[in-house]
Structure 1
Amino acid sequence: MKSFKDKILLGIICIVLGIVLALQFRIVQANYLKGTIPSKRVLELKVELKNAQEEKQVLNEELDLYKNKLKEIEGAASEDSAIIKRLNEELEKYKEFAGFTRLKGPGIEIVIDDPPSDLEFDTEESVIMYNYDILLSIINFLNSAGAEAISINEQRIVANTEMQLAGNSLQINSVPTGPPIVIKAIGDPDTLKSVLDWRFGIVAQMREYYNLQVDIKKMNELEIERYNDIIKYEYAKPIDD
């Protein structure tokens, strides 16, 4: 018969064996579960990926739609910009014709001054001021020669420019001025000079009959100021075609 000690030892061995078996079962069970969880997660990720791809496709279609709309808007804006640019070009052209723009270009410069002072018969009267109709004749000659812009003492000559004697000064565009008179004209220098300075032309008459000092220079470039007043129409009205 087994001794009491042997029974105790056998019991301890059984207990240890039971513990070992229990631990082994748990390890196997844990490994089994760990083997199934990743597989399930893969399936879930596949579903999420598919959903994301479908959502991406929808977003790409919306993006293409907005891109097309943006192109249409840009095209319309570009067309509007082209129209506005043409209108601005037309406006600038008419402003130049009306005298509301500073201009530069080739032309001539005419300097007119009174006769040299005569100490014995000195007078305060200005010959050119009291005969300012000569200036009007010069303007007409320059216009007939194709002058594109004219100024007298920096006053732009436009359609409604007034020129009149007021006291001891000549008023041009309501601005008082006096000799020397500097006339600038933009155009072909040779043509502009030839229409004034010829044998029996107006410059020869100014020198001969009025003893005026006249100097004409052809210029490669000169500047003419804009018309500074405001043109208002009180009685004239536009007619719709």
Structure 2
Amino acid sequence: MRMNEKKRRSKGELAVVVVCAIVGFLLAAQLRGVKLTGAADAATASRLETLQNLYNELMDQKDGLADQVEQLQSELALYRDQAASGDEGSEALRAELDKLEITAGLTDVEGPGVTVILEDSSSTNVTGDEADYLIHDNDLLSVINELRSAGAEAISLNGERLLATSEVRCTGAVVTVNGRRYAAPYVIFAIGDPDTLYNAVTMRNGVVDVLSQWGITVKVTPSDLLLIPKYNGTVEYQYAHTVTPGEEEGEE
């Protein structure tokens, strides 16, 4: 009897030890999980704060650029008024200023031209690479370069006026133009002689033929009147400067 009681007591003590060990393990695991969760929450909060600060900085820069654009436009309007109130020489200056405004993209322009609409391919993927059937920056640049070579006087892409300093580049599945992201379809307006522009992009073995091989849809439509908005931004020159008469290259 005593032996049986001792065995039962030993088994009971062993069970208590096992239960305590399990409970201790569970408590340790729970505490570890709480610590990891707290660390993850802290890291997430830190990233959110960083992103918020970056967002605030970008918004401040945007507001500053908008104020700068408004100031420059006011100064430009003042110069135009001064030119308009002068003599024949001032009229010539005003005409030259108008041309420079168009070239610099500082004013809305309208005129005849063509509309080019590009859409991603809906063909069956036979290469295994989905990117082969999407429109890329080099596709858009091929169309834009053809239009420029054909005498386009003003071009826009999805409403963005294209300047000599404008970038058109892929950023993931979208294309960035003048710092803004756009997805397909891509709509290009080009002002110039409609027949010349149309023939330039639709000629045999031209850019439209090449893109159509991948099933990319390109629709080119002549138009009697297109409106292209002015460039909505600023252009700053840090290194380039004008050369005064008599100034030698490299002279300070």
Confirm or deny that 1:185 pairs with 2:190: yes
Once the two structures are superposed, the pairs formed by residues 26-65 of structure 1 within 5 Å of their partners are none
| C-alpha distance in 1 between matches for 2:200 and 2:91 | 38
Structure 1 unpaired stretches of 5+ = 1-77
- 1:166 pairs with one of 171, 192, 209: 171
| Residue 138 of structure 1 pairs with residue 143 of structure 2 | yes
Is 2:239 aligned against 1:235? yes
Relative to structure 1, the CA distance from residue 128 to residue 223 in structure 2 (aligned partners, 3 Å threshold; closer, same or farther) is farther
Say yes or no: does 1:106 pair with 2:116. Answer: no
Given the alignment of the two structures, is residue 216 of structure 1 paired with residue 230 of structure 2, yes or no?
Answer: no
Question: Offset at 1:221?
Answer: 0.6
Change in Cα spacing, 1:126 to 1:229, as seen in structure 2 (3 Å) is: farther
TM-score, normalisation: structure 1: 0.61
Q: CA deviation at 1:138?
A: 1.2
Q: CA offset at residue 112 of structure 1?
A: 0.5
Which residue matches 2:101? 95
> Quick check: 1:200 aligned with 2:200?
no
Which residue is 2:154 aligned to?
149
Separation (CA, whole Å) in 2 of partners of 1:117 and 1:198 = 23
Q: 1:152, 1:184 within 8 Å by CA — same for their partners in 2?
A: yes
Unaligned 5+ residue runs, structure 2? 1-83, 246-252
Larger radius of gyration: 1
CA contact (8 A) 1:108 1:218 kept: yes
Q: CA deviation at 1:199?
A: 2.1
List 4+ stretches of structure 1 deviating above 6 A.
121-124
Q: CA deviation at 1:84?
A: 3.8
RMSD: 2.7
Percent identity of equivalent pairs: 34
Length-normalised TM-score, structure 2: 0.58
Q: Output one character per residue of 1:155-182: Cα deviation in whole Å (capped at 9) or x when no partner.
A: 1111011112223321001011010011
Shift of 1:92: 1.8
Mapped contact 2:110–2:226 kept (Cα < 8 A): yes
Q: Distance in 1 between matches of 2:166 and 2:142?
A: 14
Question: Contact 2:121–2:134 at 8 Å: present in 1 too?
Answer: no
Post-superposition CA distance 1:32-68 (Å, at most 9, x none):
xxxxxxxxxxxxxxxxxxxxxxxxxxxxxxxxxxxxx
Count of aligned residue pairs for this structure pair: 162
